[in-house]
Chain A
């Protein structure tokens, strides 16, 4: 609050002070450099995110042979588009159909396919999502705005080992004339986690 015409920056919160202390000590000991941290942060803030996964999905929608490769070896097919790296060494792609809907969770921590989706949103890492998605998926999906007919079975994938999952959503109706680049704009992060449909 500014009351006397001068700017008084808020004092750091305890967690801000702790994070700054850790970085400062490690920098003094020569173990980290601020510039290297900047580079890592910039990559995940700007370049590595769900726009990458959207390109993979759109390619699979327009190219049946690519779709087959993607479902056969997700890691290799995703690498064809130039994506790979930490938390993406073993990617399995699971395809939604008229009868089956797939959804991803990590009940033990927050495993997530970074090269194609970036870092996960807070709700994905939260106790409500992690506790409930394996137990009452249809109810949780409904609460999140995705009503699935009873005729559609739900497959939940708990990524508890080394595989990271990506959902291949169904291509929306009425998009037959669209080109790949425009299709990619329809593909949301939530659709590739499986809590929404494009």
Chain B
């Protein structure tokens, strides 16, 4: 199994049980969580990681490790993976120092960008337009959640143009594309089981969308 339609893409999945709220929760539950958070800030500032690449590295974790570990362990695994892949350190060095196994994320299975032609940077859609989300299930990193693929919605807000995450992770010269808040009726997403009187707005890059 690789990162295609990964375990991180949780929207709409069933049977995870109740939301467990911890009263008076601290910002960090242990010192190691705080240290990992700080390391993340520094390696990002030094250009050894960016948000998209960290997310992708988390998405490449073994699914059982992902679901069985807390957020800051995801970050720790992702930072170590990205640093090992760039040759800054090795897994052997990490394990020798830690004295315990240091599981890293799996290598990316995605083909290099481009997978498809990018737009010209001008917004194709306006507020009120009906759009359909692409039904594609791309191999590799994307910010198009599985639960909206192939679904129809209305453009609610036009946001700025931002680097396409799919291309940022898998290519050398990622395009900048407009993004949109697209509103979906709950019934479009969940059919007869949908709650009444609910909508879900999802923020999507332009190449995830087509006119409906």
Does any Cβ of B come within 8 Å of A109's Cβ? yes
Task: Kindly identify, within residues 187 to 210 of chain B, every residue whose CB is under 8 Å from any CB belonging to chain A.
Answer: 189-190, 195-205
Q: Which of B27, B99, B160, B199 contacts A162 (CB 8 A)?
A: B160
- How far is it, in angstroms, between the C-alpha of A137 and the C-alpha of B197 when the chains are bound? 10
| Contact in complex: B162, A162 (CB < 8 Å) | yes
Are B16 and A132 closer than 8 Å at their CB atoms?
Answer: yes
A1 at the interface (CB under 8 A from B): no
Contact partners of A3 in chain B: CB under 8 A: none
- On chain B, the residues within 8 Å of A123 by CB distance are 19-22
Q: Who on chain B is nearest to A189 by CB? A: B25
Number of interface residues of A (CB under 8 A): 65
Of A24, A90, A153, A161, chain B has the most CB atoms within 10 Å of the CB of A161
**What is the minimal beta-carbon distance from B203 to any residue of chain A, in angstroms?**
4
Q: Cβ of B39 and Cβ of A156 under 8 Å apart? A: no
Task: Indicate whether A37 reaches chain B with its CB closer than 8 angstroms.
Answer: yes
B41 A40 Cβ-Cβ under 8 A: yes
**Whole-angstrom distance between the alpha carbons of A32 and B45 in the complex?**
10
List of B residues within 8 angstroms of A155 by Cβ? 183, 198-201
Given contacts A125-B71, A160-B143, contact A23 B39 (CB under 8 A): yes
Contacts of A139 in B (CB 8 A): 195
Using CB atoms, name the residue of chain B closest to A19.
Answer: B32
User: A107 contacts which chain B residues (CB < 8 A)?
Assistant: 9-12, 145, 147
Which A131-170 residues have a C-beta within 8 angstroms of B?
131-132, 134-140, 143-144, 150, 152-163
A144 with B19, Cβ < 8 A, contacts A108-B9, A154-B198, A162-B162 known: yes
Q: Which residue of chain A has the shortest Cβ distance to B202 in the bound complex?
A: A158
Residue A179 interfacial (CB < 8 Å): no
